[in-house]
Amino acid sequence: MFRRVESRRYLTYAEARELLQRRISESGGALNPIQERTWEYLKTFGQKDPAAARGAVEALLKAGIPEHLAVQLVNMCPEDEGFINLILSAEEGLQVTEELISKVKEALGPYCGGGPAQA
């Protein structure tokens, strides 16, 4: 079976779990070894709502965070400002300010279970 890549985008664990779950049901449960290991991982770490995960990513994008970092932040759900700063500092040219960190906490709060993040 040949597949053609039509587009690429970063997925959160929750979105990847939903996509793989759909493929499993369409294929009747047949998985290759890589898909099986991926499924086991995503069953553990991708339990949240995929739509909420994408909403959190979109909120982070509006705050000026590149998509690859936004997805990383949503997947990790960091609460500690130092950890958020560490992740954001990986992006060359991104100005990490207290305001940006506050926006990150605000965007992640509802998705990561903390409600609206408190500054």
List, run by run, the mean pLDDT of 10-residue segments along the chain (119 residues). Answer: 82 95 86 91 94 96 96 95 94 93 95 60
pTM as predicted: 0.85
Q: Which pLDDT does position 20 carry in this prediction?
A: 92
14 by Cβ neighbours in 10 Å (0-12 / 13-18 / 19+) ranks as buried
The mean pLDDT of the chain is 90
Q: What are the b/e assignments for 59-96, b being 16+ CB within 10 Å?
A: bbeebebbeebbbbbbbeebeeeeebbebbeeeeeeeb
Q: How far apart are CA 117 and CA 20, in angstroms?
A: 31
